[in-house]
Chains A and B, each alone.
Chain A
Amino acid sequence: GAVVSQHPSRVICKSGTSVKIECRSLDFQATTMFWYRQFPKKSLMLMATSNEGSKATYEQGVEKDKFLINHASLTLSTLTVTSAHPEDSSFYICSARTEANTEAFFGQGTRLTVV
């Protein structure tokens, strides 16, 4: 099946710095990608919908200036956590939807720890 690669799988950063997470669809073009955040022992919360070549659509309560999303190509979307703080520590997961809207494939997730 299709593969979505997310990098890095784990990252530790200092408070106040920025971290970039990449989400790549390896063998299909994804005009739409989604970014989720998963808190410990909690469900996945959709943060934003990323559309290639246009601005991302953020869910209510998600700070767009803090969580910058770029979808510059049909196979790559990036999430940058700016000025990270310990409360941003979480598991971030991306998914990429096929153009035919028949399935969405998930990346393996990124464990962000802000110290």
Chain B
Amino acid sequence: AQSVTQLGSHVSVSEGALVLLRCNYSSSVPPYLFWYVQYPNQGLQLLLKYTTGATLVKGINGFEAEFKKSETSFHLTKPSAHMSDAAEYFCAVSLQGFQKLVFGTGTRLLVSP
């Protein structure tokens, strides 16, 4: 069965600093990997996804993530944090497209001025 581990329930950065949110996965077959963002009391918005092909995936709002099979990782990065990036971020894995996503426990990103 698949699983996702997100290291760090909270990450704090200053505005303009690099954002790094960590995600490691476990899957018996090549997975589909996703990052979602959730603002308070709202649903989830897809930031980016990896299915096949290029391992560096670019998403919305300047975020990108790199699939590293050897490290079973899919870390999310953004070169320069903005105040509006403060939110909860979820990494997710599935075996086939958007069928039954398994989510990590989430990382709350805090951005200070």
Residues of A within 8 A of B (CB): 4, 6, 9, 32, 34, 41-46, 49, 91, 93, 95, 97-98, 101-109, 111
Contacts and interface: CB of A to CB of B under 8 A. Distances in A.
22 contacts: A9-B41, A34-B100, A41-B9, A42-B105, A43-B90, A43-B104, A44-B103, A46-B101, A93-B43, A95-B44, A101-B96, A101-B97, A101-B98, A103-B98, A104-B46, A104-B98, A104-B101, A106-B36, A106-B43, A106-B44, A107-B43, A109-B41
Nearest to B39: A108
A23 to B, nearest CB: 10
Given A43-B103, A97-B99, 14 more contacts: A9-B41, A34-B101, A44-B90, A49-B100, A97-B97, A97-B98, A102-B97, A103-B49, A103-B98, A104-B46, A104-B98, A106-B36, A108-B41, A108-B43
A103 B32 CA distance: 11
Interface string B63-107: 000000000000000000000000000100000111111111110
Given A43-B90, A101-B98, A103-B98, A93 B106 contact: no
Classify the interface of chain A: helix, strand, loop or mixed.
Answer: strand
Contacts, number: 58
Q: For the side of the interface on B, what is the size category?
A: 20 to 34
B12 interface: no
B28 interface: no
B26 interface: no
A60 to B, nearest CB: 11
A107 B33 CA distance: 20
B45 interface: yes
Contacts of B43: 4, 6, 93, 95, 106-109
A46 B103 CA distance: 9
Contacts of A107: 43
A82 B32 CA distance: 35
B42 A108 contact: yes
Nearest to B102: A46
